[in-house]
Amino acid sequence: MTIDVEELLSRGVEKVIPRELAEKKLNSGEKLRIYHGVDPTGAKLHLGHSVPLRKLKAFADAGHEVIFIVGSFTAMIGDPTGRDTMRSVLTREEVEKNFKTYKEQAGKILDISKIKVRYNHEWLEKLDFKGIVDLASNFTVQQMLQRDMFDKRLKENKPISVHEFLYPLMVGYDSVVLDVDGELGGSDQEFNMLAGRTLQAAYHKRDKFVLTTKLIEGTDGRKMSKTYDNSIYLEDSAEEMYGKLMSIRDELVEKYFECLTSVPMGDVINILSSHPKDAKMRLSFEITKIYHGEEAAKKAQENFEKAFSKGGIPDDIKTVTAQKNEPLVEILLREGLVSSKTEFNRLEKDGAIEEMESGVYRIGKHRFLRITRSD
C-alpha cells in the first residue's frame, strides 16, 4: 500500500511536533506504534471526537500498530483542559457506565480487529507514592501555570486543585508504559500529549511525535460540545444527523469535508464551487453515509428535501402512543427528543415546537414525532 505521508500529517491536522521526527519515522518504512486516548466522561461521542479517531484509522490503514486507550483511571480525576472551574470527579461506577457504549461507538469508525484497546487503570492503579513523586519531579509549577485555564482561574481567584496538576502526568505516563512512536489527539490536548513526550525522554523511551487534530465547531458555530447543545452525535439517526449537518454554517463546510470525510480534497474544491446548499447537501450525504450506509443516507436526503425544501413531513417518522392527557413534555422526554424540561421550555419559547398536523410535531429543525392518543 502506497502511503501519502503528507496527507497523513496534514489533513485534519493542526500541528505535528516535531514534524521532522514524524516525517523521518513515517518515511523509514518501519511499523510505528501510535495511540489515542479518550476519557469516558460522558456516554456519547460526537463528530468532534471522530476527528482523531479517523486519523487513528488512517494510521491503521497505513499498516501501523495503533492503540485506543480508554481512560478508565484518568476519567475519575478529570481533565482540566478548557475548564475555568474544577471538573466534577467521577466514580468508577459512572466511568464504567459511560464506557459501555464507547467501544461500540468508536467501532463505527475504527476496525476494532485492527487495533488494540487498553485501559489505563491497568498501570495507573499500580503507581505507588514514590512513582507519583518521580513523575512530578519532571515538571515545575511554573510549567503548569502556563496553561491558559489555570492562569485564568488565578486571575479570577478561582480554586485550582493539586490533583488537576497530576492529570497531565497521568496521561503522559500512558506514553511511557506503551513506549509509543506517536500520539494523536485534539488540539486542546497539546499540553497533555507533550507531557508524555517529556516523560518518555525522562524514562529513556522512544522519541515520540505529537499530532494534534483540528477542533470542530458545532451547529451554532461554537466548539462542538454537549454543554452547548450543538453536537452531532455518532448515534444520531440518519435523519437527525443529516438535518443537523444541513444546519451548520456555510463557512464550516470545507472544514467538515476535510476533517470528517475521505472525499479527495481536489474533489472538495469542485464541490465547493457549486451552490452553497448543494455543497452542504453533498457533505451531509457523505457523513451520514459513513455512519448509516448509502441507502439510509439517500432516504435521509429525500426526507430532508420533502420536509424542508417543500414544507412537508418526512415519510419515515416515529409513531408513539400516549395517554390522552399526558403532557407533551413528558412524551418528548421519554422518547429522547428533548434532554430536559429546560430544553423543552427553551424550544417552546422560541417557537421551535410545532404541531404540523394533527398529532405530528416538529421539534427544533430536524426532529419529528407522530403521537397517537389513547383514551
pLDDT score recorded for residue 9: 97
pTM to 2 decimal places: 0.79
pLDDT score recorded for residue 2: 55
Beta bridge partners of 117: 68
Tens of pLDDT along the chain (375 residues)? 456 899 999 999 999 999 999 999 999 999 999 999 988 877 789 999 999 999 999 999 999 999 999 888 888 776 555 444 444 667 777 777 777 778 788 889 998 888 898 999 999 999 999 999 999 999 988 888 877 778 788 888 888 888 788 889 999 999 999 999 999 999 989 999 999 999 999 999 999 999 999 999 999 899 998 888 899 999 999 999 999 999 999 999 999 999 999 999 999 999 999 999 999 999 999 999 999 999 999 999 998 888 776 566 776 678 888 888 888 999 888 888 888 888 888 888 888 888 877 788 888 777 788 888 886
Judge: domain 5-213, CATH 3.40.50.620. yes
Yes or no: say if 333 and 345 are a contact pair by the CB < 8 Å rule: no
Phi and psi torsions of 33, nearest 5°: -110, 115
pLDDT score recorded for residue 112: 82
pLDDT score recorded for residue 82: 47
Exposure class string for 331-346: b at 16+ Cβ within 10 A, else e: bbbeeebbeeeebbee
Yes or no: say if 48 and 224 are a contact pair by the CB < 8 Å rule: yes
Yes or no: say if 369 and 335 are a contact pair by the CB < 8 Å rule: yes
Phi and psi torsions of 15, nearest 5°: -145, 155
Side chain identity at 254, as an amino acid letter? E
- The dotted CATH code for 317-375 is 3.10.290.10
* Nearest CA among 173, 212, 179 for reference residue 196: 173
Rounded Cα gap, residues 276 and 242, in angstroms: 16
**In residues, how long is the chain?**
375
* Nearest CA among 117, 89, 104 for reference residue 43: 104
Going from N- to C-terminal start, the domains of the chain cover 5-213, 236-315, 317-375
**CATH class, 236-315 region:** mainly alpha
pLDDT score recorded for residue 294: 97
- The total of other beta-carbon atoms located within 10 Å of residue 231's CB is 23
- Fold match between domain 236-315 and domain 317-375: no
Exposure class string for 31-40: b at 16+ Cβ within 10 A, else e: ebbbbbbbbb
Q: What is the 8-class DSSP label of residue 95?
A: H
Question: What is the layout of strands, in order, in the sheet containing 209-213?
Answer: 13-17, 209-213, 182-186, 33-38, 65-70, 115-119
Rounded Cα gap, residues 302 and 300, in angstroms: 5
